Amino acid sequence: MDLKSLERQNIINTYNRQPETTLLLQRGEGVYVWDENNKRYLDFVCGLAVNNLGHCHPQIVSAICEQAQQLMHTSNLYYTEPQIRLAERLVKHSCADKVFFCNSGAEANEAAIKLARKYGKQKKGEAFEIITASRSFHGRTLATVTATGQPKYHKGFEPMVPGFRYAEYNNLQSFADQICDKTCAILVEPVQGEGGVYPATAEFLQGLRRLCDEHNLLLIFDEVQCGMGRTGKLFAYEHYGVEPDVFTLAKALGGGLPIGAMCAKGEAAETLVPGEHASTFGGNPVVCAAANAVMDILLADGFLARVSHLGEYFKQKLAEISSPQIVTVRGLGLMVGLEINGDGAEVVRLCQEQGLLVNCIGGKTLRFLPPLIATEADFNTAVTILQNALTALD
Ligand SMILES: Cc1ncc(COP(=O)(O)O)c(C=O)c1O
């Protein structure tokens, strides 16, 4: 039986893969992936912001191989050096004082939710409510999907976890209106990803910081998608002159291997105590060795400045596309959304036909998460393909 039919037969159908259009990818190198027919694609999806440094980056591959030959897993009953080194570097290069490691974005946010509830109990009596934003995305576990401010993801799984309220993104008053004596934290993405690529305004995040200080709430930033250099800074909050009490990472941190991290500052970093949270695989030596290689690359001289430059370059090129279908271009660094009024799925299909992978959110927003190692020539190629696709549909 061919692989796509085997998939249908054996994998629970949560991804809506289509045998006619969903690619079977077999190999990757740098900005490219190849399918089963050896057709090459310029990858501007990057495993949904995981392969930020492209595919099979040699430094990451050799860090993984070296560590895999030395020690693959120990559990957290024991110390391992790659985990400790990674935590030290995340702390050194962020506002955080301490880190907890897990395996995914949802788990990192779960850890943050538990931390916030514990903090609320300690500091404010019985405060346990967390305010999150409309259009947000925080994961698919029961608590993180409840935190996700999109009712379509709740449908069928009710009753949801108690203790979440929703306010309008980029609307400070809307958040202020939801605060009560039960509130313990505010959780937002500095740049919303799955919701349609919406960067926060500085006024909004700075205002949330003020609200949290006034009401003794934890300010939690979900940097699962926008962190790790994606926006041209190591962490997106650095654009805003605001420091969160807690921020979460995953996706690109492991360079292609699964890892999550919850980074906490000050009192928040001391809130959880032994026995209150754990993860068998969390901070696994191989994954942390990969993440340390990722940090080496991102922190090399000029790397992040180049990402900022490329972000501007790409947005300018997108703005030059002539098509009546284009509504707006938005984003930060190399996290870019192009809103169109045409059929997004069809644009994705036409781009794919011409060798470019892009993703579409909600049928109308093309989401570009290009590799941070792409060149201006790669962006020119992508924009030409996109122009052709839009022209074909005009
Ligand atoms: C902002 C944000 N938070 C959390 C998650 C969930 O991460 P994971 O799929 O690794 O659980 C995602 C995934 O897309 C995300 O974009």
How is domain 3-57+301-393 classified at the CATH fold level? Answer: Aspartate Aminotransferase, domain 1 (3.90.1150)
Q: Which two tokens stand for residue 316?
A: 């300018």
Q: What is the per-residue pLDDT across 133-157, written as a single tens digit (0 to 9) for each?
A: 999 999 999 999 999 999 999 999 9
Query: Any idea where the domains of the chain sit in the sequence?
Result: 3-57+301-393, 58-298
pLDDT of residue 304: 98
DSSP assignment of 172-211 equals HHHHHHH--TTEEEEEE-SEESTTT-EEPPHHHHHHHHHH
| Residue 155 bears catalytic tag | no
Distance CA 116, CA 244 (A): 13
Distance CA 176, CA 204 (A): 11
pLDDT of residue 142: 98
Is any ligand 1 atom within 6 A of the Cβ of residue 193? yes
Is any ligand 1 atom within 6 A of the Cβ of residue 136? no
How many CA atoms lie less than 13 Å away from 121 in the CB half-sphere?
A: 8
Q: Which two tokens stand for residue 230?
A: 């994606």
Distance 253 CA to ligand 1 centre (A): 12
Distance CA 231, CA 325 (A): 26
pLDDT of residue 297: 98
Q: Which of 44, 100, 101, 222 is catalytic?
A: 222
179 CB-near residues (< 8 Å, 6+ apart): 131, 211, 215, 217
Distance 394 CA to ligand 1 centre (A): 34
Q: Which of 118, 233, 251, 265 is catalytic?
A: 251
Is any ligand 1 atom within 6 A of the Cβ of residue 146? no
Asked whether residue 394 carries a pLDDT value surpassing 90, the answer given is no
Asked whether residue 8 carries a pLDDT value surpassing 90, the answer given is yes
Q: Which two tokens stand for residue 206?
A: 């700075």
DSSP assignment of 206-243 equals HHHHHHHHHHT-EEEEE-TTTTTTTTSSSSGGGGTT--
Question: What secondary structure letter does DSSP report for 273?
Answer: -
| Residue 233 bears catalytic tag | no
Alpha helices in 40-171 (DSSP H): 46-49, 58-70, 81-92, 105-124, 142-147
- Per residue in 194-204, is it b (16+ CB within 10 Å) or e — as a string? bbbbbbbeeeb
Question: What secondary structure letter does DSSP report for 161?
Answer: P
Average pLDDT over residues 287-316: 98
| Residue 247 bears catalytic tag | no
Average pLDDT over residues 79-86: 98
How deeply is 308 buried, as exposed, middle or buried, from its count of CB atoms within 10 A (0-12, 13-18, 19+)?
Answer: middle
Q: Which two tokens stand for residue 360?
A: 């579409």
Q: What is the per-residue pLDDT across 227-272, written as a single tens digit (0 to 9) for each?
A: 999 999 999 999 999 999 999 999 999 999 999 999 999 999 999 9
Mutate to test the pocket of ligand 1, among 189, 191, 222, 224 (most ligand atoms within 8 A of CB): 224
Mean pLDDT of all residues in the chain?
A: 97
pLDDT of residue 279: 98
Q: What is the per-residue pLDDT across 260-299, written as a single tens digit (0 to 9) for each?
A: 999 999 999 999 999 999 999 999 999 999 999 999 999 9
pLDDT of residue 1: 84
Q: How confident is the model at residue 102 (pLDDT cuts 50, 70, 90)?
A: very high
Distance 103 CA to ligand 1 centre (A): 11
Q: How confident is the model at residue 392 (pLDDT cuts 50, 70, 90)?
A: very high
Question: Which amino acid is residue 49, in one-letter code?
Answer: A
Distance CA 195, CA 258 (A): 22
Residue nearest to atom 3 of ligand 1 (CA): 138
Q: Which CATH architecture has domain 58-298?
A: 3-Layer(aba) Sandwich (3.40)
Distance CA 126, CA 269 (A): 20
Q: What is the per-residue pLDDT across 167-194, written as a single tens digit (0 to 9) for each?
A: 999 999 999 999 999 999 999 999 999 9
pLDDT of residue 204: 98
Contact predicate 216/124, CB 8 Å: yes
Q: Residue 317's closest CA among 377, 369, 364?
A: 377
